[in-house]
Amino acid sequence: MPDAPVLTTSIGAVRGVREAGVDRFLGIPYAAPPFGERRYAPPHPVEPWEGERDASAFGATAPQTPYRGGLEKYLPSVIVHGDDILTVNVWAPADRSNDAPLPVLVFVHGGAFTRGSAALAAYDGTAFARQGIVYVSIQYRLGQEGFAVLDDVPLNLGLADQEAALRWVRREIGAFGGDPARVTAMGHSAGANALAALLAAPQAGELFDRVILQSGPLSAQPLAKASRMSKAVAKRLGVPATRAGFASVDPAALAETQTALSNASPLARAPGVALAIGGDLVPRNPLDAIRDGAGRGIPVLIGTTSEEYRLWFVPTGMLERVRPSTLSLARAAARVPSRIVKAHRERRPDASAGEVLGEIMTDMLLRGPAVQLADSRIGAASTHLYEFRWPSPVDGLGACHGMELGFVFDALDTPDAVALGGADGPAALADAMHSAWVAFVRDGDPGWEAWSAPRPVRVFDADGASTEYAPRAEDLVGLPTR
């Protein structure tokens, strides 16, 4: 049938859907379901299948709870029930009459390692496929299934899933018209954090040829801190912090307990879910390894939005609750020099205490580490920095965390993008960002000069894009990062 393309992988044939010149193949397993005897074990190979596997619908999503605490208004959740959660989805041009293999883009979703799904409408790969790119999105274990710190369980299992998915791409993407020697990995938020860890790993070159890191921390946590959530979950449920203890609990109950113990604000002292330093995949802090030369041969596109913090501060009311005294206490606790607060005040004299605190936290968690990464790579493979500044008109969200996604994917009309940015996002900005990402995937050059001593940063705003040199330099000098 013309609307049901069939391709054959090394594991079996898959039957997808053809629509508007794009073929999509959804829910293809790259590893066996990680439940039963395989729960809390590294990803296990998929058993080959006979005949054609239906690849017209997304696979099951990792156990999770929907967003709460005000975030649910802006961050949708997709829940697909089932055990086959380790799957990939592929979009490719339907016309593959040209035998030349196409560049490949692999997307790793965010969600604080506790939420998210490749099935979100905003992550649809149609726009990239129409530009001659084979687009892949992946799903991986989340929360206590993927990032528990337990006495007898390998660390960072969700990251091991991502590595397995990237190896699937190298092995199988040729069947979809993709070039296994031209793979760009792209991650947002926690997805970028995970890819930074893989960039720091010795096997990075086996997994991807270029990498895009959007609004992601570049660090992992020491075991003592990373284990806090698992210990708290174990205590709340009355089970030991072991494989047997957690395997005795239904995954949904683990997710609910984890949510009850969490807090959406980055100021909170509640435990969180994070990459843990230790084991084979993350033997040391990724940013430290990168600054010492790891991944120097792999081109990097990295950046942030200008007001990341507003996604957490606005829905929770934190923006209004922060007083000057709160700012002073937080500055002292984080050992931020007072001159940095002064620099923010001089740049934005009308900013509230909450806005200044949010900007400093954005610099510490995201912007500062990105600049450090870029500085350490001068003379290595190219590094390109960007900053997204378009302010959403919705509820004072501004240029918050995740706002750039609808523009990168050229998908401003999806419900996900409208929830954050409204119905009238500037098309010129979507054209500029999407085109830059496509260019980077094709040949490693997004269209502006690579990072060097003058510190060029591509700024994306309502009218498109322009380049600034060393923006916010006064805010970052001497700022501690984490």
Question: Is 481 contained in some domain?
Answer: no
pLDDT at residue 201 in the model: 95
Confidence grade of residue 2 (pLDDT, cut at 50, 70, 90): low
Give me the helix-helix angle, 228-237 and 251-261, nearest 10°. Answer: 110
Among residues 117, 137, 189, 219, the one annotated as catalytic is: 189
From 97-101, 246-250, 286-290, the region with the lowest mean pLDDT: 97-101
> What token pair was written down for 452?
């060097």
Among residues 387, 401, 404, 434, the one annotated as catalytic is: 401
What are the distances in angstroms from CA 213 to CA 26, 106, 119? Answer: 24, 12, 20
> What token pair was written down for 343?
């620099």
Q: How many CA atoms lie within 13 A of 384 on its CB side?
A: 21
Domain span at residue 237 reads: 6-476
Count the domains in the chain.
Answer: 1
Residues 111, 117, 121, 124, CA torsion sign = positive
Does the active-site annotation cover 468? no
> What's the CA gap between 93 and 126, in Å, rounded?
9
Does the active-site annotation cover 206? no
Question: Is 482 contained in some domain?
Answer: no
pLDDT per position as a tens digit, 375-431: 999 999 899 999 999 999 999 999 999 999 999 999 999 999 999 999 999 999 999
Question: Is 115 contained in some domain?
Answer: yes
Cβ burial, residue 349 (10 Å; 0-12/13-18/19+): exposed
Look up tokens 């969600």; give the residue: 111
pLDDT per position as a tens digit, 348-381: 888 787 888 888 889 888 999 999 999 999 999 8
What is the CATH number for 420? 3.40.50.1820
pLDDT per position as a tens digit, 423-475: 999 999 999 999 999 999 999 999 999 999 999 999 999 988 999 999 887 76
pLDDT per position as a tens digit, 175-226: 999 999 999 999 999 999 999 999 999 999 999 999 999 999 999 999 999 9
Confidence grade of residue 237 (pLDDT, cut at 50, 70, 90): very high
Whether pLDDT at 10 is above 90: yes
pLDDT at residue 1 in the model: 44
Cβ burial, residue 124 (10 Å; 0-12/13-18/19+): buried
Q: What is the DSSP pairing of strand 178-188 with strand 210-214? A: parallel
pLDDT per position as a tens digit, 53-63: 999 999 999 99
Does the active-site annotation cover 189? yes
Among residues 308, 355, 359, 387, the one annotated as catalytic is: 308
> What's the CA gap between 353 and 341, in Å, rounded?
10
Q: In this structure, are residues 125 and 104 in contact, taking their beta carbons and an 8 Å threshold?
A: no
Question: Is 456 contained in some domain?
Answer: yes
pLDDT per position as a tens digit, 104-160: 999 999 999 999 999 999 999 999 999 999 999 999 999 999 999 999 999 999 999
